[in-house]
A and B are shown apart, each in its own frame.
Chain A
Amino acid sequence: MKRNPESVLNVLGKTQYLDDLPENAGMLHAAVVLSPSAHGRFSGLDTAAALAMDSSVRVVVAADIPGQNELGTAVFDEPLLAAGEWHYHGQVLALVLASSRSLARKAAARVAVQGAEQLPAVTDPREAAARGNIILSPRTQRSGDVDTAFLACDVVVSGRVESGGQEHVYLETQGAIAWPDDSGGVRLLSGTQSPSGVQKIVARVLGLPMNLVEVETRRLGGAFGGKEDQATGWAALAALGAVVSGRPVKINLNRRDDMVATGKRHPYSSDFRIGLKKDGTILAFEADFYQNSGAATDLSPAIIPRTLFHAAGAYHIPNVRVTGTMCRTNLIPFTAFRGFGGPQGFFVIESAIDAAARALGIEPADIQRRNLLSDGDEFHYGMVAEDPRAKETMERCLAKADWNKLRADIRDFNAAHAGLKRGAAATPVCFGISFTKIMMNQGGALVHIYNDGSVGVSTGAVEMGQGVGRKIALVVADALGIPDSKVKIETTRTVTVANTMPTAASTGTDINAMAAKIACDQLRARLDALAKDRPGLDFVQLVALAHEQRVDLSAHAFYATPGLHYDLATEKGKPFHYHVYGCAVVTATLDVLRGTYQFDDAFIVHDIAHSIDPVIDRGQVEGAFAQGLGWAALEELAFGADGRLLANTLSTYKLPDAHFMPRMDVEFLERPNPGTVANSKAVGEPPLMYGIAGYFAVLDALKAVHPDKPAFYDLPMTPEKALRFLSEEDSP
C-alpha cells in the first residue's frame, strides 16, 4: 500500500499549519476591531485606552494605508479598512498590533467607535432589488420560446423557493504572517486558496509592484471556497501591519471573529414557473434568482452565472428563461463555497419538480427520470451534452437503492406507524467543470529533477485536504516513470509559479496536474534522447548523465483548458470543459411528534471517470455530500432582523457530526474522460448537490403525514420548520 506523505504527517500531528510555525523574535500579533452593527457612520476611533495598555500596542487605520484601500477584484467596493462608514456587521474598522495575541485582542476590545450614527440596514435581497440596490446588471440565459411553450403545457406550476447561507467552518481559521523584506517589500505566508490573488491585492494596498510581494501557502486546514477571495483581507492586514511597524506580524482569527467577519455561501430567494405535459415531460422552465450578495461584490458576479448554468439541473428542458440578480444588502459579503451558486440553482429546479409532481399526481422521480439529459441535448447556454451520464448514474443509483421496493417498504412502514414516518428522495446531478470566468482556466508548473534523481514539483495548486498534491505526485511519477516516493510537492509560492489562479472550481488537479505532466513530458523527452545511445541506464543514472552532459533538468510548463468560449451578449457558448454526473438516494425517518428526523441511508453513484486515487476521491464524494446534507437539512445561518449574525459560534451554528450522517454507499461510474489528465474527472464540488436529496427525503416523510398540504421549499430543513408543517393548518 502506497502512503500519502501528507496524511502520514497529519496522523503524526507534525503537519505545520500557519499557527504551528515557530514565531520570530519581535513578532507582533494582530487583532481586529469590527463594526458593531449592520450599517453605520463613524467619525473616528478612540484608541487611548488601547494604547495605554502597553507600549507595544499600535492601532492601524485606513489612513495608514500607503496604497489603495481596496480589496475588490470585479468591482471596487470593498475597502480593507472601513473609513467613515461601515456596511455590514463584522466589517474591519481597525487593526491592532501588540506583542502578544491576548494583548492584541484585549487592546482591540478597548478601541471605541466615535461619533457612531446608525443607518438603515437592508437584509432582504428582494427588498434590496426593489430599491435598486443591485450589483452590476441582472443576467438572463434563455433557450427556445418559453412564453409560447407555457401555452402548450398541460400543467403549469409556480412557486417560491428560499435557500439559506452556509458557514464554511474550515477547522483552521483564517490567518497570515507577514515579514518586512529588505527589498522594501513583504514576504507573506497566507492561508489562502489564491497566493497570486493575495500578491496582487497586497501590492495594491501597499502601493508596491507585485515583484516586491512574495506569497507562500503551505497548506490549509480546510477551505471549501472560504479562502478563495476571503483570505486576502487578512493577508493584506498582516502585510500592512508589517510595513507600518517594520516587524513581522501574525494574524490568526479566533473562531468567533472568523464566523462574524468572513463571507459564506449566498442565501437565495427565488421564483419559479414550470410547465409540463401530462406524462411528466418538462416543456418550459422559468426562474428568477435573487442572490443575497451581501455588502460588497466579492465573487458574486462569477457565482451568479453558475446558478444560471445549473438552473435546469440534470435535465434537458427545451424552453428555459432564467434570470439572476445580485442584490446588495447590509450583510457580510457572501462568497465562494463548494458548489459556487450551483446548489442554489439545483434546489430550485428540484423544488419545481416536486411541486409539479404533486400537481400531476405522480412521483417526483417519474418526472426526473423522464427528463434527464441525453447525448446531443443542448443546454440552455448553448453547449451540447457529450457522453452525458445522467441516465446511467440515476438508473444505477435507483437500482442500488432498490427503489421500487424501497417505496413500497416506506408505504407499508408509514401505514403501520403513526408516530414515525419514513421518506426517500433522489437527486440527479450534472455539474459543469471549469471556472465560469474563462480567463481563469490556466495554470503553470515548474518541475525540477535534482541530480540525484529526486524530483520537486511546484504548481499553483494549494493543498487543503482535497489531495491535489497527492494526485499531482502520482501523475508526475507516472509521467517520469519513477516511484511516487521520489516526488516531492513543494509549497505553493508566487516566486516559483507566477500568475496562478485560485485552487477552486474543482479544477485543482485538472489544471495543475496537467501543467505538471506537460513539464514532465518535456523532461522525459530530454532524458529519452540521451537514453537512445545508452540503453540500460536507470532513471538515476540517466539523470546523472544528463547533468554531466549539461542537459537542463528543469522544466516549466503551462496549461490552458482548451475549447472554452462564451458570448456574454447572447449568453451562449461552451463555458465548461465537460460535465460531471451522478445521483443520490437518501432516506430519512421523521419523528412526527417532535419534528426531528434522522437520515438512514445514502446511496450514491458518482461519475468519477478514471480515478487517479480512488480512496481520495471517495473521501471527496462523502465529504462533499456531508456538507451538502448539512446545508440542506441542518446548518442554519441565522441573522437577526438587524443584520447581526446570530449563529456566531459552533454551539449556535450546528454542523454535521458523526451521528448526523447516514450510512453511505458510494459507487463509482468508471468510464474514462478523454482530454483530461489521466482521463479523470474533477470531483470536489459535484457531490455536494447530493445533499439536496436529504431535504426532499424529509419532505417526503412530512407529506406522508399531511398528503394534502402544500409543500414548502425553504432550505435548510430544520426540526422547527418540520414541526410547523406538522402542527399548523397552513404550511410555513
Chain B
Amino acid sequence: MKITLTVNGDRYERECAEHHTLLRFIRETLGLTGTKEGCGMGECGACTVIMNGRAVNSCMVLAAEADGAVIQTIEGEAKGPTLSDIQASFERNHAVQCGFCTPGMVMSVKELLASDPHPSVDAIKEAVEGNFCRCTGYTQIVEAVTELTGTGAKGGLDHV
C-alpha cells in the first residue's frame, strides 16, 4: 500500500507493507536510523517519535496508521549543526552515556515541554517513565531537563 506522511517537515509518499511498523518504515524505508529499536514490543521507549504532537512507541504503530500523520524524529530536532535546547542540555549535563536510549528520551522530553514548560521533577520522571535507560540511573537526565526549565535543584556534586 501507499502512505503519505510528513516527517521532520518533509513530505513522503512511499510504498509500505501492511504489517510494517512505523519504526521499520522510518528506519528502513526512509533511512532515518536515529530512532532505535530496543525491544520491538512497546516496552523500552527507544523507538519513541512524536506523531501528531504525541510521543508514541513507533514499534507499536503500524506504518499504515501513520498515513497522513505529522511526525518528528530525532533527526528533526537540531537546526543544522545547532543542537536544540534539549539536546544541548542533555550533552552538557551528561544525560547521555551509550546514547542508545537518547533519541527516544529526547522525544519524550520534547512532548512534555510542549505541554508543560516548567514541569516538576515528578512530571519529568512521569514523562520518561516508558523510556528505559540502563546507563545513567536517570539523575543526569532529570537534571538536564530541570536545568533547562529552571524547575528543580541540581542534586549532588556541587563542586563539579
Contacts and interface: CB of A to CB of B under 8 A. Distances in A.
Interface string A634-664: 0000000000000001110001111101011
A10 B96 contact: yes
Interface string A652-682: 0001111101011111100000000000000
B140 interface: yes
Contact of A17 (B78, B100, B140): B100
Contact of A656 (B93, B98, B101, B137): B137
Nearest to B153: A663
B135 A623 contact: yes
A510 B91 CA distance: 25
A618 B125 contact: no
A254 interface: yes
Contacts of B13: none
B100 A664 contact: no
A222 interface: yes
B128 A658 contact: yes
Contacts of A138: none
Contact of A619 (B37, B77, B87, B94): B94
A353 B145 CA distance: 41
B131 to A, nearest CB: 8
Given A16-B33, A467-B97, A619-B135, A11 B156 contact: no
A593 B83 CA distance: 48
A17 B138 CA distance: 22
A7 B88 CA distance: 10
B157 A171 contact: no
Interface in B14-66: 31, 33-41, 43-44, 46
A658 B98 contact: no
Contacts of A616: 94
Given A7-B96, A169-B132, A13 B102 contact: yes
B39 A255 contact: yes
B41 A651 contact: yes
Interface in B85-109: 87-88, 90-94, 96-103, 106
A7 B91 contact: yes
A466 interface: yes
Interface size class on chain B is 35 or more
Interface residues of A, number: 62
B154 to A, nearest CB: 11
Contacts, number: 183
Most buried by B among A20, A616, A619, A668: A619
| Dominant SS among interface residues on chain B | loop
A4 B93 CA distance: 11
A655 B38 contact: no
Most buried by B among A4, A14, A256, A464: A14
Contact of B91 (A4, A16, A464): A4
Contacts of A656: 137-138
A467 B97 CA distance: 7
B55 to A, nearest CB: 14
Contact of A171 (B100, B124, B125, B141): B100
A3 interface: yes
Contacts of B131: 658
B74 interface: yes
A5 to B, nearest CB: 10
Given A222-B98, A661-B139, 15 more contacts: A1-B92, A7-B90, A7-B94, A10-B99, A12-B83, A13-B73, A13-B102, A222-B97, A619-B97, A626-B137, A650-B132, A657-B129, A658-B128, A666-B156, A668-B159
10 contacts: A11-B106, A17-B100, A171-B101, A221-B100, A254-B40, A256-B41, A622-B140, A623-B137, A626-B136, A650-B39
Interface of A: 1, 3-4, 6-17, 19-20, 22, 168-173, 219-222, 224, 254-256, 464-467, 614-616, 618-619, 622-627, 649-651, 655-659, 661, 663-668
